[in-house]
Amino acid sequence: MKLATTIAGLTLAVAAVYSVPATAQEFHANASQPAARCQAALPVFDGQIRKRPLSVQNEGTRGAFITCGFEFNAGNAVNFAPVMVDTYFYNANDADATVTCTGVTGWNGGDNEQVALELVIPSRSTDPTDGNLTWFDTDFEGGGMETSLIAISCLLPPGVGINDTYIWWEVPGEPV
């Protein structure tokens, strides 16, 4: 009987050590005006790109590339990875305009993934969903966001600007 009690006690002890309590997960975001995280991709575009307080805007007469890098608290994120990058654009033109952007994960010389997106933005729309481009972690089929490093490169047509940018990540919550 003593052996059965000891084995039962050890089984409970091992089960307690290896059981993981269920947790609720929370989403956190790092929001930023693009003047803090975006810049002209090459010096040739500097004369066209204006960094305004509320937008990084192409005020030139031809398309210009910008690059935006996204910082977040990777050390607190589930799997050290973001789950979403969210961007908003505005078209100040009298006609619709198309923005093309590529999300790039990883570091120079590493295994990188690229996901290109395109968006037609209506002229002077005040509906924020009209200018929204979003990259989800599942868009990067090889798990590229798990590098914790993501940036975007966008071709802004004349009169188009990037207004605000967000990176989202999941944080383990309290046990439920």
CATH code, domain with 59: 2.60.120
Q: How many domains does the chain fold into?
A: 1
Measured distance CA(154)–CA(168) in Å, rounded: 20
Range of the domain at 166: 24-175
Q: Is residue 15 part of a domain?
A: no
Q: Is residue 2 part of a domain?
A: no
Measured distance CA(90)–CA(83) in Å, rounded: 24
Q: Is residue 168 part of a domain?
A: yes
pLDDT score for 172: 86
Q: Which CB contacts under 8 angstroms, 24+ apart, belong to 26-29?
A: 26/170, 26/171, 26/173, 27/83, 27/168, 27/169, 27/170, 27/171, 28/72, 28/73, 28/76, 28/77, 28/168, 28/169, 28/170, 28/171, 29/166, 29/167, 29/168, 29/169
pLDDT score for 111: 86
Whether this model's pTM surpasses 0.95: no
Q: Is residue 81 part of a domain?
A: yes
Beta bridge partners, 3, equal none
Closest CA to 102 of 91, 94, 92, 112: 112
Measured distance CA(59)–CA(62) in Å, rounded: 9
* Per-residue model confidence as pLDDT tens digits over 84-128: 999 999 999 999 999 999 999 999 998 899 999 999 999 999 898
Q: Is residue 120 part of a domain?
A: yes
Q: Is residue 157 part of a domain?
A: yes
* Per-residue model confidence as pLDDT tens digits over 147-158: 999 999 999 999
Q: Is residue 18 part of a domain?
A: no
* Per-residue model confidence as pLDDT tens digits over 21-30: 455 669 999 9
Between residues 54 and 1, the one the model is more confident about: 54
